[in-house]
Amino acid sequence: MTAHRRHLVEKLLEKNNGILPLEPAWVARDFLPPGYRLGLKESEYEVGERGWISERWLASTTKADNLVGPPDEGLSYLKTEGKDRLTLKEAVEVAGDLILGKEYAQSHKGLGRLAKIFDFGDRIPYHLHQMAKDAARVGRNPKEEAYYFPEGPDLGPHPETFFGVHPYIRDQKKYDILLPYLVGWNSDLILKHSRAYLNVAGEGFHLPAGVLHAPGTALTIELQEDSDVFALLQALVAGKIISKKLLFKDVRQEDQEKWGERIILDQINWEISGDPFFYENRHLPPLLVEGSRQAGGEEHWIYYNTTKFSGKKLAVKPAQKFTSLDSGVYSVLVWQGQGRYDGQEVKAGEFGSDELLVCHEKATRPLVIENTGSQELVLIKFFGPDINLNAPTIAKYEP
């Protein structure tokens, strides 16, 4: 079976000259209604007891941690012909050297990152993603993440994101202020202890693991570590009380029984959550990629400030070409326009033609991207850990 799967990957790489076209991977959530901005028909968003389709995962080798859903929810599939079906996760397992590059594959188990589009009609509840020390207790990876708010889509009714806590809570170690909200589990008033920042199209934020946050309703393209761990700390969400099981989703049963709700307070990164200069230290405006400006277009860093992942936005002018050269394997989302990616037809919003994985050997050699449409061709590139070690970092703000 392994030999057959590897042979299938080899054939696809040969056919597509080192590039793997991907099918979209849809993920449902049951605690919030969708924003209806993923390009599906309106009738396709509602999926019964699973809730609503509210996320699209991109070049994903991660399974969604939903209690109800198909066994392959969240996993991307290669676009193949005939009866053969192969997930990207399986492809990386059997042909990691071909996809990741031999040297990278020796030091990294896989792509090591998860990209997604999330699309909610109401604010995501206040939550955290466990740090490495806490995620390891349940056999999971930590989840550092970053957001980019793309230009174009409606920002929704609540385009502001709450981050962290008011600084005095950290500085005076008043951590128990949050505890009654977790014990009572009957309101959304925990948010009054946090600060909200506007979701501005074309910009974003970087968020280390363990930091409290409640994302706003702007359509968001997220890049993160390869994980789906979380703890929801807000009980009242979109007018209803959600299950308290989501507070303890990634907590060991013995820890829950011993410590109760207080165990969650121990999982918070208080230093960053209470940073009085959170915006200055975590805000991600687009930054021009040095040396990327060409007659046909240019690239900007949109995910940076970490070695866990990185990402760029590439814009190619109408009827122009851009020569791309990168440091390792990456995936691509065609966000706007149409064109050819190393000769392969791509088009935004056309599922099966708007998502690619560019394997190491192809990515590290010059390839030509051509805009064949009348509007700017906009592409988002997603990279895993330790690939773009030259990505910018934010200098710590010193008032």
- Do both 350 and 269 map to the same domain? no
- Do both 295 and 180 map to the same domain? no
- Do both 152 and 300 map to the same domain? no
Tally of structural domains, the chain:
2
Enumerate residues 6+ apart whose C-beta is below 8 A from 47.
28, 53
* Burial of residue 256 (number of CB atoms within 10 Å: 0-12, 13-18, 19+): middle
What is the distance between the alpha carbons of residues 15 and 241, in angstroms, rounded to a whole number?
51
Domain that holds residue 367: 286-383
What is the distance between the alpha carbons of residues 324 and 11, in angstroms, rounded to a whole number?
24
Where is the domain boundary, 237, 262, 283? Answer: 283
Helix, strand, coil percentages (3-state) for the chain, rounded to 5, are 25, 30, 50
Query: Does residue 217 contact residue 125 with C-beta atoms inside 8 Å?
Result: no
- Do both 61 and 154 map to the same domain? yes
- Do both 130 and 182 map to the same domain? yes
Query: Does residue 122 contact residue 158 with C-beta atoms inside 8 Å?
Result: yes
Where is the domain boundary, 283, 307, 338? Answer: 283
- Do both 42 and 164 map to the same domain? yes
- Do both 245 and 173 map to the same domain? yes
- Do both 276 and 311 map to the same domain? no
86 lies in some domain: no
- Report the CATH number at residue 275: 2.60.120.10
pLDDT tens digits along 352-376? 999 999 999 999 999 999 999 999 9
- Do both 277 and 297 map to the same domain? no
Q: Per this entry, what is the length of the chain? A: 399
pLDDT bin (cut points 50, 70, 90) of residue 399 is confident
- Checking if the pLDDT of 95 tops 90, the result is yes
What share of the chain has pLDDT > 90, as a percent? 96
pLDDT tens digits along 307-332? 999 999 999 999 999 999 999 999 99
Where is the domain boundary, 283, 313, 331? Answer: 283
pLDDT tens digits along 277-293? 999 999 999 999 999 99
- Do both 261 and 298 map to the same domain? no
- Do both 265 and 331 map to the same domain? no
